[in-house]
Amino acid sequence: MWKNIVILGGGSGGIVCANELRKKLSGEHRVILIDKDEEHTFYPSLLWLIFGLRKPEQIKRSLKNLTKRGIEFIQGEVTDIFTEKKSISLDGQNINYDYLVISLGAELNTKAFPKTPKIFNFYCLEGARLSGEAVKNFSSGKIIILIAGMPFKCPAAPYEFAFLIDSFFKNRNIRDRISIEIYTPETLPMPTAGPQIGNMLKQMLESRRINFNPERKFKSVDEGKIYFEDGKTADFDLLFVVPPHTAPEVVKKANLTNESGWIPVDRETLKTRFENVYAIGDVTTIKLPGQYKPDKPLNLPKAGVFAHYQAEAAAENIVKEISGQKPDKIFSGDGYCFLELGDNTAGFAKGNFFTIPSPFMKMYKPGKLWHLGKIIFEKWWFWKWF
Ligand SMILES: Cc1cc2nc3c(=O)[nH]c(=O)nc-3n(C[C@H](O)[C@H](O)[C@H](O)COP(=O)(O)OP(=O)(O)OC[C@H]3O[C@@H](n4cnc5c(N)ncnc54)[C@H](O)[C@@H]3O)c2cc1C
């Protein structure tokens, strides 16, 4: 009997899952991908877009291209998920599923940030484009990069952004006129990668005169000043924010989330507690078995690399379930990350987040090859999935 597999979200997790399912299932089964946007954006390239190295059309692809591969694409906003009835609702239309994969990502909450020509959200396409214009027109003063809440996706991105800004102004010979600071609630950069990598990054920031201000919880902001929960303030001429992240309203409304605000899943199979419902990527929360300090549990960071590997595992488990086998394909907790450092160089970290007693990450010596690796990855991404 043929099955209806519905995938919510055409981001990193959703497109991999849809492609893998289509490749592995015979044509009688339907693979339906739903997204409110018609286009998929490759977010890692936003950082290059800011510095004029990419144009918006180079880092997007139409999700309609997936239909050539036998994946049905429906554009529309998912407003309800009915796990009891095994259906979802989309612009007033109900769609039934036999299996559901939720890959709806994280929403960026920008309400706290006034619309002024001094404040930019570089975590979305339009915000990144405007950030690029602001950087280009800036010639002296104080720049702050603010991480306004935890968790946030791609723990490396705000630090990569800081390194890229530093290089950009150095190459324009005006770096001495500009101060760059990072404010974050984290204790160290990329804390889940461990104190060794965190301290290494902190030293790299310091060596490039980028001031790192840890454990600063954002409270509010006006046109030129940030207010923190500890009563301290920071003035800025230009502010780049990583806005607080939340799960999309539709998954909260469907009671899929737990006290963390995200969807808990079995960390290996990606199954939720609801029958035939899987969740992958940024919308999920996964407790790690290891930790660095007693009583300080860690969660899997939000990153495209995990959405990708989880999508592969979820797809294979659904195929197994359909063919009457045990869904025992495991997401292993492996991950890697390129770290752009400016001047065509990058670092690279790789490891496993499910190791005990703590996650294991190794940082490789930065160089031009890793930067090239990220460029090749971007090309591969579009070739492989579109
Ligand atoms: C600047 C930046 C740089 C990054 N760099 C890296 C990197 O180098 N490496 C890395 O691993 N990760 C990186 N990331 C993180 C990575 O992009 C995300 O972790 C990844 O996209 C998560 O995939 P996802 O499928 O869970 O969610 P997303 O890719 O966010 O996809 C979610 C999709 O769901 C859709 N959607 C949401 N709500 C609805 C609704 N109600 N109805 C219909 N559709 C809906 C959205 O339109 C979206 O297309 C970066 C992120 C940013 C912002």
Residue 146 lies in a domain: yes
Domain end marker among 283, 307, 330: 330
Domain ends where: 303, 330, 357? 330
320 and 297 co-located in one domain: yes
CA 176 to centroid of ligand 1, rounded, Å? 35
Give the separation between CA 26 and CA 24, rounded to whole angstroms.
Answer: 7
Q: Does any ligand 1 atom lie closer than 6 A to the CB of residue 104?
A: yes
**Percent with pLDDT over 90 in the chain:** 98
**Distance between alpha carbon 128 and the CA centroid of its chain, in Å?**
15
Residues 87 and 118 in one domain: no
Q: How far apart are CA 105 and CA 151, in angstroms?
A: 12
Exposure on the CB side of residue 169, measured as CA atoms within 13 A: 24
CA count, 13 A, side-chain hemisphere, 174: 13
On whether the CB atoms of residues 264 and 258 are closer than 8 A, the answer is: yes
Is residue 164 situated within a structural domain? yes
Q: What is the pLDDT of residue 133?
A: 97
Considering the domain architecture, whether residues 231 and 276 belong to the same structural domain is answered as: no
The whole-number pLDDT of residue 45 equals 97
Q: Are residues 117 and 239 in the same domain?
A: yes
**Domain that residue 133 falls in:** 108-245
- Residue 377 Cα to ligand 1 middle (Å): 16
- How far apart are alpha carbons 146 and 301 in whole angstroms? 18
Give per-residue pLDDT as tens, 287-302: 999 999 988 999 999 9
> Would the pTM of this model clear 0.85, i.e. be above it?
yes
Phi, psi of 201 (to 5 degrees): -65, -40
> Is 336 a domain residue?
no
Q: Cα torsion at 195, 200, 205, 208 (round to 10°)?
A: 170
Distance CA 120, CA 132 (A): 10
91 has a pLDDT exceeding 90: no
346 lines ligand 1 (CB under 6 A): no
User: CB within 8 A of 365, min separation 6: which ones?
Assistant: 347
Look at residues 228, 245, 262 and tell me which one is the last residue of a structural domain.
Answer: 245
Do the beta carbons of residue 263 and residue 283 sit within 8 Å? Answer: yes
Cα(320)–Cα(314) distance, integer angstroms: 10
State if residue 3 touches ligand 1 by the CB under 6 angstroms criterion: no
- Identify the bridge partners of residue 62 per DSSP, sorted by sequence position: 39
- The answer to whether position 197 is within a domain reads yes
The enclosing domain of 313 has a CATH number of 3.50.50.60
Residue 88 has pLDDT above 90, yes or no: yes
How many domains is the chain partitioned into structurally? Answer: 2
- Residue with CA closest to ligand 1 atom 20: 304
Residue 67 has pLDDT above 90, yes or no: yes
Q: Using a 6 Å cutoff on CB, does residue 9 contact ligand 1? A: yes
Contact 56, 347 (CB under 8 A): no
119 and 203 in a single domain? The answer is yes
End-to-end CA distance of the chain: 29
Q: How far apart are CA 198 and CA 83, in angstroms?
A: 41
**85 and 130: one domain?**
no
Pairing of the two strands 99-102 and 4-8: parallel
Which residues are CB-contacts of 157 (< 8 A; sequence separation ≥ 6)?
47, 123, 242
d(CA 301, CA 152): 8
- pLDDT digits 0-9 by tens, 328-383: 999 999 999 999 999 999 999 999 999 999 999 999 999 999 999 999 999 999 99
Clarify whether residues 251 and 241 are in a common domain: no
Domain contains 102: yes
Within a 13 Å sphere around the CA of 269, how many CA atoms are in the beta-carbon half?
15
Q: What is the pLDDT of residue 339?
A: 96
Q: DSSP for 179-212?
A: EEEEE-SSSSSSGGG-HHHHHHHHHHHHHTTEEE
In terms of domains, do 95 and 149 share one?
A: no
- 38 and 123 housed in the same domain: no
State the closest ligand 1 atom to the C-alpha of 302, by its place in the atom list counted from 1: 19
